[in-house]
Amino acid sequence: MVCEMETDQIEEMDVEGLSSMWPEDVGTQADNQFNVGDSDTLKEVDIAEKHTMADLTRLPELMNTTDQGSSQLTNLVRQWEYMQDHAVRLLREELKILTRQREEAEAKELKIIEEHNFESQEPENVPVLDETSHLFRRFRQKKRDELVDRERVVIDEEFDTVAYWKQKALSLEKMLEASTERERRLIEKLNESLKTMESHSAPVEELTQNLKRAEGFLHFILQNAPIVMGHQDKDLRYLFIYNKFPSLREQDILGKTDVEIFHGGGVKESEDFKREVLEKGKASKREITFETELFGSKTFLIYVEPVYNKAKEKIGINYMGMEVTDQVRKREKMAKLREDNAVRKAMESELTKTIHITEETMRAKQMLATMSHEIRSPLSGVVGMAEILSTTKLDKEQRQLLNVMISSGDLVLQLINDILDLSKVESGVMKLEATKFRPREVVKHVLQTAAASLKKDLTLEGNIADEVPILVVGDVLRIRQILTNLISNAIKFTHRGKVGIKLQVISQPSFANEEQKETSVWICCDVYDTGIGIPENALPCLFKKYMQASADHARKYGGTGLGLAICKQLVELMGGQLTVTSQVNAGSTFTFILPYKVATSDDHSDDQDEFSDMVDHHQPEPDDTTEGYFQFKPLLGSIYSNGGSVTGNNFLPHKAMLTTPLKLTNGFVSDPSSNTGQSETVQVENGGYMDESRQNCCPESAHQYGNGNGRCSSKESESCSSSQASSEMESELTVSSPREEEKTETEVKETSQPKILLVEDNKINIMVAKSMMKQLGYTMDIANNGVEAINAVKDSSYDLVLMDVCMPVMDGLKATRLIRSYEESGNWEAAIEAGVDIKTSENDQACVPPTNRLPIVAMTANTLAESSEECYANGMDSFISKPVTLQKLKQCLQQYLQ
Amino acid sequence: MNTVVVAQLQRQFQEYLVSLYQQGFLDNQFTELRKLQDEGTPDFVAEVVSLFFDDCSKLINSMSRSLGRPESVDFKQVDSGVHQLKGSSSSVGARRVKNVCISFKECCDVQNREGCLRCLQQVDYEYKMLKTKLEDLFNLEQQILQAGGTIPQININ
């Protein structure tokens, strides 16, 4: 409180010499709206308790010794003096007026007495203040007595003028009496005034009252203010403290320093701050956060000012603190929010940028893919034509040129395929499919394909551990692609020795994620070779796009440099890992680990079509399912020696080799069971130039090229050069130039154009399907319902029936059942029973049971499981979901028209 | 041949076609159809589509006749019509028509005449809408060809 007063005092002292630290008039009785000092008002205000702690002995001392303290007292005294002066002046003025009145009255009296010759013994002037009242009264009594006596005398005198005088005297006496009476009262009043003055003689009481009022005011203002005020001496020991929420007792604080009282964060800082102020002699403010056991974490805004004594020496500091924890917290919150906002904005803009970049990248990739696709179609036309050209008579130079042309074309095709794959994987378009497949068969087929185009003296071997499941679920096409890629890579860089694939089951690797942990089996696949190896410094960039171990290698061995990058991406896409170990001149081993689900092999019946591209389910090969070791050796000298001049039917060297596994003793050693079944329709799209060799084609090759994925099939034979183009062509033919289609069509017509029957009632569907067939190079017959279909099947032998399920007259399911019944029994009795009007007139063959089961593919709008099951149950072989697309149709035809 | 005009028409064509996909009038099957069109069959798409619209009109007429008799609605006949329509629309990629057909068929299955009538109205509306849109598209195509340009290959994805 004192500090507060002093502070204000100092500020105001400069302005006017005599001012109060209170709002004006607070210290006076004057009625004013700011009259806080009114004691009644203050009494109403509840001043609960005094929080002040003061060293009462030291406080007066302080007040006396400091400038502020003394000036405060001086001020109070001066103010009192001023008030007293004023009062005295007022009294004096009043006295003067009274004296003058008295003098007038006496003058009047004298005049009267003189007039009437009365002798007066009264003194001329009775100095009011010089005489005691007693004296005065006595005098007055005497005087009155005399007057009364004299009057009586006057009255007693009987005179002519007596009555008159008497009357006059009486009135005069009355006037005098009134005057005297007034005088007396004034004197009484004066006396009273004097008495009051005496009682007010000491200023202390007044001062104390003023102080009390000041204190009251301060309490009124400060009683709820969260403020701590204090004074500390030079050594920063508390001499005085005011605290609204005292948690320490007086003796705990006074005479002690902050450091002695509190412990914790901020205490030292505040102490240092106070000391700094003391040293610099300049008041300042600071925010300090305290972290003390006493009152927890609180932030105070502290104001410290130095205090001087009269000799202008520093004797301590005044200190005032206000708790601003909440405000600071709010402020910090705001700052944090603002910061967060800024960060978020920055992130947003970053994200937008990233999105933009990603979009750009995606667009670029999309464009790349589109472009690649656009390039591929005409290019495959070029390569195909070149292949056909190579079957004609050419001289040696022409053939050489043509071979260069074909191999260059192949390379570009391969590059484009790789780019397509890569951009598919990278843009996330690549979808993995889960199909059941037999790992042993996959390995065998991959090796077989590689062996077919092998031109080196290498042994290819496959080794599958016994514990590897017979049937697993995975994306077989991609796995084959990886294997083929790695194998062809290995062959490329290996000049002698062997190249092989090893499959084994391993325990779950560390990189497996939660989802993968449910996987039943992890299979590790090693593709090893005894080739030139890879120098250690080249290993890091091995899987990077367009990178090869060295520029030399790139020149010497060719290739796009994309193969391994694709493999790695595919493996990672499937949740696995691809690694490599290598030793220069000793060989390399590429290892990929992939998770698979184990499929149960007893549910063959309804999933045959899913892996029918792997297994020829018409004639299963028991060896494939369990055999764990294969070996393939090249047929050196037999064909490749004159490979360049192979013409006519044998222009495809690997085909030639594949066709003769039984004749060549060192051929497919492990594959004695290869036979010629189910192969008559293979390579039908290649038309005339293949029609002779295909008769002997083994089933594997049929799967190879009929697995419904053109790119993959081409990939698998990527290491063959000229020979590869035929398969390439086969898959690309349908989307190549119209000129070629025409040629194909005409060629096909010359040979055995497969007969296809479309059973469909919807005109539009027929129109679309017909157009698609035309584009694929086929024609077909149309039946509008089941009955027509049966009649058509009866009259001519078809290679494939595409059957709508839902049709008027007779639906596809029933028609299929009847056709199957005919195939079993050799007669159409069931159909006739069902009410079909069978025209048996001229066709005798109708009674002869057919030799082959007619492939019937359902076309259904419902792809629901029960619907497909229904299809199978009614004897259908497969189904295409509607609407039919070119791709679906193509796959279907490839599958069934081999 | 005015290349500026052609380019503009081509862009217009492309935007229009893309908008038809985006607004759900067409789906990928229409792309398939367009793929089937080549030099040999330059009007293939238009032919198929006009066949489709003729079909629609006939089927809708017959269905509306069937549904017009409140007491004895031949739901079997309606169902067969819906099936036809569904197959056709699916084949040409008329996505909205197909989608209405799906709910139409559901109504038909539970023999809900009110629902059927509502669906019939919707189908009628959708196919006519599509017809107008495709006519515009073919007009654009014709304009491009007349201006000496080629129909741009458009990859909708």
Q: Is the pLDDT of residue B6 over 80?
A: yes
Strands A458-464 and A497-506: what pairing?
A: parallel
Beta carbons of A771 and B44 less than 8 Å apart: yes
User: A857 and A803 in contact (C-beta within 8 Å)?
Assistant: yes
Taking only the tens place, the pLDDT of each residue in A573-582 is 888 888 888 8
Closest CB from B48, B52, B80 relative to A808 = B80
Residue A446 scores a pLDDT above 90: no
Asked if B28 lies within 8 A of A761 by C-beta distance, the reply is no
Residue type at position A504: Q
- Binary contact (A764, B83; C-beta < 8 A): no
Residue to mutate among A771, A784, A806, A890, with most B CBs inside 10 A, is A771
Quote the pLDDT of residue A779.
85
Instruction: Describe the strand order of the beta sheet including A878-881 as a list of residue ranges.
Output: A781-783, A756-759, A800-804, A856-860, A878-881
Shortest CA distance from B157: residue in chain A:
A366
> What pLDDT is recorded for position A349?
92
- Pick the range with the lowest mean pLDDT from A22-26, A53-57, A773-777: A22-26
- Out of A738, A764, A861, the one facing B48 most closely (by C-beta) is A764
Provide mean pLDDT across the span A593-604.
70
Task: Identify the helix (H) or strand (E) that includes residue A282.
Answer: none
Q: How far is B32 from chain A (nearest CA, A)?
A: 6
Check residues A610 and A275 and name the one with the higher pLDDT.
A275
- Please give the pLDDT value at position A341: 92
Is B33 or A753 the better-scoring residue by pLDDT? B33
Q: What angle do CA A207, A211, A217 make, to 5 degrees?
A: 145
For residue A601, what pLDDT is reported? 53
pLDDT of A13: 41
A-side interface with B, Cβ within 8 Å? 366, 370, 738, 761-765, 767-768, 771-772, 775, 806, 808, 861, 882-886
pLDDT at A5 over 80: no
Note the pLDDT of residue A153.
45
> Which residues of chain B have a Cβ shorter than 8 Å from any chain A Cβ?
28-29, 32-33, 35-36, 38-41, 44, 47-48, 51-52, 55, 80, 83-84, 86-88, 90-93, 155, 157
Reported as type and span, the H/E element at residue A695 is none
Backbone angles phi, psi at A254, to 5 degrees: -60, 135
B86-115 pLDDT, tens digit per residue, is 888 988 889 999 989 988 888 888 888 888
Nearest-CA residue of chain B relative to A859? Answer: B87
Which has more pLDDT, A399 or A371?
A: A399
**B84 min Cα distance to partner chain A (Å):** 6
- Assess contact for B34 and B13: CB atoms under 8 A: no
Mean per-residue pLDDT, A870-884: 81
Per-residue model confidence as pLDDT tens digits over A673-725: 434 333 333 333 333 333 333 344 334 433 333 333 333 333 333 333 333 33
Q: Six-digit token pair at A105? A: 């009255």
Shortest distance between the Cα of A884 and any Cα of chain B, in A, equals 7
Weakest mean pLDDT among A178-187, A658-667, A786-795, B146-155: A658-667
Contacts of B103-112 with C-beta under 8 Å, sequence gap 24+, read: B105/B79, B108/B75, B108/B78, B108/B79, B108/B82, B109/B79, B111/B73, B111/B75
pLDDT of residue A63: 63
The residue that leads in pLDDT, A184 or A124, is A184
| pLDDT recorded at residue A561 | 66
- Find the helix packing angle between B3-22 and B113-146, rounded to 10°: 160
Confidence (pLDDT) at A345? 92
CA angle in degrees (0–180, nearest 5) for A477-A479-A484: 95
- The model's pLDDT over A305-354, given as tens digits with 9 standing for 90+, comes to 888 887 888 888 888 888 888 888 898 899 999 999 999 999 999 999 98
Amino acid (1-letter code) at residue A425: V
Indicate the range of A474-488, A668-682, A801-815, A841-855 predicted with least confidence.
A668-682
pLDDT at A550 over 60: no
Which pLDDT belongs to residue A622? 45
Mean pLDDT lowest among A46-55, A596-605, B22-31 = A46-55
User: Any idea which of A404-413, B34-43, B148-157 has the lowest mean pLDDT?
Assistant: B148-157
Provide the pLDDT confidence category of residue A659 given band limits of 50, 70 and 90.
very low
Would you state the pLDDT for residue A554?
55
What pLDDT is attached to residue A196?
A: 78
- In chain A, the percentage of residues whose pLDDT exceeds 70 is 64
Alpha-carbon gap, residue B157 to A723, rounded angstroms? 36
Please provide residue B144's backbone torsions phi and psi, each rounded to the nearest 5 degrees.
-65, -45
Model confidence at A202, in pLDDT bands (50, 70, 90)?
A: low
* Cβ-based contacts under 8 A for chains A and B: 64
User: Quick check: A740 pLDDT over 70?
Assistant: no
Cross-chain residue pair B38–A883, CB shorter than 8 Å: no
* Spatial contact of A613 and A707, defined as CB atoms under 8 Å apart: yes
pLDDT of residue A459 exceeding 80, the answer is yes
pLDDT (0 to 100) of residue A735: 37
Q: Give the residue with greater pLDDT, A373 vs A591.
A: A591
Structure tokens at A130: 């010089």
Contacts with A761 from chain B: Cβ below 8 Å: 84
| C-alpha to C-alpha distances, A150 to A120, A125, A157, A166, A174, nearest whole angstrom | 11, 21, 11, 11, 14
B79 vs A6, residue with greater confidence: B79
- Flag if B36 and A806 touch (Cβ within 8 Å): no
pLDDT at A33: 40
Of A761, A762, A771, the CB nearest to B36: A771
Q: What is the value of ipTM here, to two decimals?
A: 0.83
CB distance B91–A886 less than 8 Å? no
pLDDT of residue A184: 92
What is the reported pLDDT for B34?
A: 86
Instruction: Report how far residue A624's alpha carbon sits from residue A566's, in angstroms, rounded to the nearest whole number.
Output: 28
Contacts A770 to B, Cβ<8 Å: none
The alpha carbon of residue B91 and the mean position of all alpha carbons in its chain are separated, in whole angstroms, by 9
User: What's the mean pLDDT in A824-840?
Assistant: 75
Q: What is the pLDDT of residue B151?
A: 82
CA distance, residue B36 to nearest chain A CA (Å):
6
* pLDDT value, residue A340: 92
CA separation for the pair A759, A741 (Å, rounded): 25
Indicate yes or no: CB of A768 within 8 angstroms of CB of B36: yes
- Residue A813: the pLDDT is 85
A895 near A612, Cβ under 8 Å? Answer: yes
Buried b vs exposed e over A670-685: b needs ≥16 C-beta within 10 Å? bbeebeeebbebbbbb
pLDDT at A570 over 70: yes
Residues A764, B39: C-beta atoms closer than 8 Å: no
Q: How confident is the model at residue A664 (pLDDT cuts 50, 70, 90)?
A: very low
What is the average pLDDT across A35-53? 46
CB–CB contact B88 A765 (8 Å): yes
User: Could you tell me which residue, A12 or A570, shows the higher pLDDT?
Assistant: A570
Mean pLDDT, chain A, as a whole number? 70
CA A807 to CA A809: how far, in whole Å? 7
Across chain B, mean pLDDT equals: 86
> Hey, of B26, B29, B32, which one would you mutate to test binding to chain A, going by the most A CBs within 10 A of its CB?
B32
Chain B residues touching residue A861 (CB < 8 angstroms) = 86-87, 90
Nearest to A370 among B48, B91, B155 (CB): B155
User: Mind telling me how many Å the CA of A784 is from chain B's nearest CA?
Assistant: 13
Q: Which residues of B touch A768 (CB under 8 A)?
A: 32-33, 36, 48, 91-92
Q: Is the per-residue pLDDT at A144 higher than 80?
A: no
Sort out which chain A residues have CB atoms less than 8 A from B59's CB and list them.
Answer: none
Mean pLDDT of A10-15: 41
